[in-house]
Amino acid sequence: MRGGYPGTCDIATVYVTITDCDATADENNISGKVFIEQLPDDGTFDNEIFVTGIQVDLYGDANCNGVIDAGETIEKSTVSDLSGVYQFSTINGYYAKDDFDPTATYAGNDGSVNWTTNWAEQSDDGVINTGDVRIINDPEVDNNAIRLGGPNNGISRSLTFSEATGATLNLVIEDKT
């Protein structure tokens, strides 16, 4: 049973039809409604009941075969609202990312553009799992993260976006003092 709805134990594959929509020039909107299929089970919406609280995952299909293969991960996840509606918004283009998973390393590349350099510690021992600068497991989110300590320590990394006209930096910072 999923989301508290008896009989909703299936995992469905959704095929997306591309149409014009109300989005910015560099944005893709993916939306739909989750409903409970009633008999006859014909795969079409025939005034069935819309369902709230169902998790909907958006996977990256690296080889475009329409199948979730090993190594293809969830890009985004959401939950259907009170009307059964779910929506994802994705931005086109290039991005750099390092989520430090599944293995803690200073050389991770999880985006569409690879980093130019590895992470480099400043004023510490240069070892990934000792000292005041290190990658540790954050049990609150079950994910690896950089831990910085000490007044003069830091860590840096660089990348090159050729022909870029702008950039956005997203960080998650927690103060656990």
pTM for this predicted structure: 0.48
Q: Give the domains, in start order, of the chain with CATH numbers.
A: 1-93 (2.60.40), 95-160 (no CATH)
Reported as a pLDDT band with limits 50, 70 and 90, residue 1 is: very low
Q: What is the pLDDT of residue 2?
A: 43
Q: Is the pLDDT of residue 61 over 90?
A: no
CA angle, 27 then 51 then 13, to 5°: 60
Tell which wins on pLDDT, 77 or 13: 77
pLDDT tens string 127-158: 999 999 999 988 877 788 888 888 888 999 99
Q: What is the DSSP letter of 12?
A: -
Residue carrying the six token digits 């290039």: 94
Tell which wins on pLDDT, 14 or 55: 55
C-alpha 36/C-alpha 49 separation (Å) is 6
